[in-house]
Amino acid sequence: MADLVRRRLKLVVGLTALAELVVFVAVAAWIGAGWTILATLATSALGVLLLTRQGSRALADLRERARSRTHPGTELGNAGLVAAGGLLMVLPGFIGDLVGLLCLLPGTRGLVRRALGGIVLSRLPDRLRGPVHVRSTRTPGVGERPAPQRGEPLVIEGEVLRDAGGRPAP
């Protein structure tokens, strides 16, 4: 299992590095190598600036939760996303800068959190996922079926409100 994870991680890192290189070369061909290097340095500086601002705000929220002894759920997730976003912004590469910016900005951080949560939930075994809530409505006299005979499966009509991955049902 660990070898599979290690191989997948190497593949993702390799493909990401290749994609970053392709984008870097494309931008250099479009605006020139000097401007591309300057843009890379500027996005790294912007990443440091945003990391200090958003990071201090996230840490202040965590301290406040610790003082009030309340569960730090969202604040802890925000601090992690700010740290990951800051790292991605500081490292050279335009794709990483874009993903890092999404993690650093408060307006888009919730979108990243939901996307990561969906990915994690989809990879969890069914027994580790939360319960599925089902709402059933019955209308007397409409669609009634006779009682199932011996060996026939029991059919219960209802509406799925949320699937096993935690997402709302379509």
Q: What is the mean pLDDT of the chain?
A: 82
Among residues 98, 117, 96, which one has the least CA distance to residue 13?
Answer: 96
**Mean pLDDT within 35-64:** 87
- Is the pLDDT at 165 greater than 70? The verdict is no
Nearest-angstrom CA–CA distance, 157 and 119: 30
Identify the band that residue 26 occupies on the pLDDT scale cut at 50, 70 and 90: very high
| Segments making up each domain of the chain, as ranges | 2-160
Nearest-angstrom CA–CA distance, 153 and 170: 26
pLDDT score at 72: 74
pLDDT score at 164: 60
Q: Of all residues in the chain, what percent carry a pLDDT higher than 90?
A: 26
Residue range 82-125, pLDDT digits in tens: 889 988 988 888 999 999 989 988 889 889 988 988 888 888 77
Judged by DSSP in three states, 168 sits in strand
**Mean pLDDT within 30-47:** 91
Backbone angles phi, psi at 134, to 5 degrees: -125, 135
H-helix or E-strand containing 90?
Answer: helix 73-90
